[in-house]
């Protein structure tokens, strides 16, 4: 059987690795030696799973969306990561990494954040574990995700607006790495996605793999078999997708379909669809497909969704795309907005804009579906943080049919 898991050097095919400055070598090497024994230890598992259950509210439900199923001609199940404490899948990873940080004797936490969801998750677990927390966030994102900034501060984190580049996720990540370089021995860098140097992509994927672990027994309970025909998720750095597919990655019965941010379209210069248009390069310690110029300067990404506004994608997904194991399709801003309104009106669930990029693929691929096909789509987060964007774009969207009544 072919394995799409990481090899001993931290590579997924030609992607991944650990391209780090000398000063971080020992820190990353220590983590590489420590993370698997810690994650596999009984003590860690007991603590991690108890927190996932009692603090996060897991297992997250697997919900058969009947009206959406009817519309798209399949059996569509939604994996409800939006119902987690703090509103997205990010908390699964943040809890795992802070437990690892504590076991390694670290006393100081740094993190980067885009939409603010990972910053909030990290600030939350730092409050829980009484650890000082510094969150780096692009100044553009500080403005467009103001509520999350206030949440982080209320939780006790220090938030540092980053003024370089186009002041979004990539720039925040640069700054977090810079901080880490200055304090390598006492600081643990909690990365929010399956990006960064090995072992981060593998560590984050394992900490998110609870998603597919639950899908397995939940499907078995509901339909009598433990695998779907299709798995779907959105991809920014790739963590919710990695968790969704983890236990199915080598199971070729399961088709994998991922949505990345098309922005205004992959043929425009306003896009974040790095797998479609990227080329091989190194960013934040990992060899990935990257939006860059011919001489290797990063091309600033664009997406309506702050959580997908990153010029690359983690090495796991680059490899799945290159090998053809996963079908990766872009969903543009307008398609994602339409999908978010549709889910809201058909199922009463307001999804995060990021998650809407997975939902937006349904109209594009529905001709592949048979009515009996089981499709599991991960709703990575809830849409509260995106209400401003939704309201601002309401007018451009067709209103669903209404029987009248108050609006």
Ligand X SMILES: *Cc1c(COP(=O)(O)O)cnc(C)c1O
Which residues have a catalytic role annotated?
A: 90, 112, 380
Q: Least Å distance between CB 237 and ligand X?
A: 4
Instruction: Tell me whether residue 103 or residue 166 sits nearer to ligand X (CB atom).
Output: 166
Beta-strand relationship, 255-263 and 158-162: unpaired
Among 6, 94, 100, 115, binds ligand X (CB under 6 A): 115
CB of 188 to ligand X, least distance (A): 19
Do you know the residue count of the chain?
Answer: 407
Please state, in angstroms and rounded to a whole number, the distance separating the CA atoms of residues 62 and 81.
Answer: 9
User: Least distance to ligand X from the beta carbon of 50, Å?
Assistant: 24
- Rounded Cα distance between 353 and 307, Å, is 8
Binding-site member from 193, 274, 286, 332 for ligand X (CB under 6 A): 193
Stretch that binds ligand X, among 10-18, 115-123, 147-155, 278-286 (CB under 6 A): 115-123
Cα–Cα distance measured from residue 202 to residue 194, given in angstroms and rounded to the nearest whole number: 7
* Binding window for ligand X (CB under 6 A); candidates: 124-132, 182-190, 236-244, 399-407: 236-244
Q: Which of 234, 256, 283, 316 binds ligand X (CB under 6 A)?
A: 234
- CB 122 within 8 Å of CB 192: yes
Task: Show contacts with ligand X in window 300-319 (CB under 6 A).
Answer: 307-308
CB of 86 to ligand X, least distance (A): 9
272-278: long-range contacts, CB 8 A cutoff, minimum separation 24: 272/301, 272/302, 272/303, 272/308, 272/309, 272/310, 272/311, 273/330, 274/301, 274/310, 274/311, 274/312, 274/313, 275/235, 275/313, 275/317, 275/318, 275/321, 275/328, 276/328, 276/330, 278/311, 278/312, 278/313
Q: By three-state DSSP, how is residue 181 classified?
A: helix
For the chain, report the end-to-end CA distance as a whole number of angstroms: 55
Residue of 16, 138, 237, 330 interacting with ligand X (CB under 6 A)? 237
Q: Which stretch binds ligand X (CB under 6 A): 56-64, 139-147, 287-295, 351-359?
A: 351-359
Return d(Cα 345, Cα 341) in angstroms, integer: 6
Residues 84-103 that bind ligand X (CB under 6 A): 88, 90
Residue from 204, 385, 378, 380 nearest 284 by CA:
204
Considering only residues 30 through 89, tell me which ones interact with ligand X, judged by CB under 6 A.
88
Question: Using the rule CB under 6 A, which residue among 110, 326, 381, 389 binds ligand X?
Answer: 381
In the complex with ligand X, the residue whose CB is nearer, 15 or 369, is 15
10 binds ligand X (CB under 6 A): no
152 near ligand X, judged by CB under 6 A: no
Residue 24 or 88: the one with the smaller Cβ distance to ligand X is 88
């Amino acid at each position: 059987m072919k394995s799409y898991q990481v090899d001993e050097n931290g590579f997924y095919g030609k992607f991944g690795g650990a391209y780090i400055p000398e000063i971080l070598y020992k820190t990353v090497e220590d983590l590489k030696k420590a993370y698997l024994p810690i994650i596999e230890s009984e003590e860690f598992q007991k603590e991690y799973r108890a927190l996932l259950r009692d603090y996060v509210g897991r297992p997250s439900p697997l919900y058969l969306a009947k009206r959406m199923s009817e519309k798209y001609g399949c059996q569509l199940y939604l994996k409800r990561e939006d119902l987690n404490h703090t509103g997205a899948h990010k908390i699964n990873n943040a809890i795992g990494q802070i437990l690892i940080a504590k076991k390694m004797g670290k006393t100081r936490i740094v993190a980067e954040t885009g939409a603010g969801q990972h910053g909030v998750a990290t600030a939350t677990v730092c409050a829980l574990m009484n650890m000082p927390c510094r969150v780096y966030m692009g100044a553009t994102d500080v403005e467009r995700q103001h509520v999350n900034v206030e949440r982080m501060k209320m939780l006790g984190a220090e938030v540092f607006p980053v003024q370089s580049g186009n002041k979004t996720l990539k720039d925040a990540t640069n700054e977090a790495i810079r901080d880490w370089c200055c304090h390598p021995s006492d600081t643990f860098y909690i990365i929010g996605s399956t990006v960064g140097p090995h072992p981060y992509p593998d560590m984050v994927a394992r900490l998110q793999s609870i998603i597919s672990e639950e899908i397995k027994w939940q499907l078995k309970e509901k339909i009598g078999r433990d695998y779907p025909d299709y798995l779907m998720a959105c991809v920014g750095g790739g963590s919710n997708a990695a968790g969704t597919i983890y236990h199915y990655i080598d199971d070729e019965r399961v088709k994998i379909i991922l949505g990345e941010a098309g922005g205004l379209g992959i043929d425009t210069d306003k896009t974040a669809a790095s797998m479609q248009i990227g080329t091989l390069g190194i960013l934040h310690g990992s060899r990935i497909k990257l939006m860059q110029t011919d001489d290797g300067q990063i091309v600033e990404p664009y997406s309506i969704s702050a959580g997908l506004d990153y010029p690359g994608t983690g090495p796991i997904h680059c490899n799945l795309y290159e090998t053809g194991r996963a079908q990766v399709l872009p969903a543009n801003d307008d398609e994602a907005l339409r999908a978010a309104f549709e889910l809201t009106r058909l199922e009463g669930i307001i999804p995060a804009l990021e998650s809407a990029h997975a939902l937006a693929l349904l109209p594009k691929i529905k001709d592949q579906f048979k009515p009996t096909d089981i499709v599991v789509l991960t709703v990575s987060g809830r849409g509260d943080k995106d209400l401003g964007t939704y309201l601002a774009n309401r007018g451009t969207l067709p209103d669903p049919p209404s029987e009248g009544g108050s609006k």
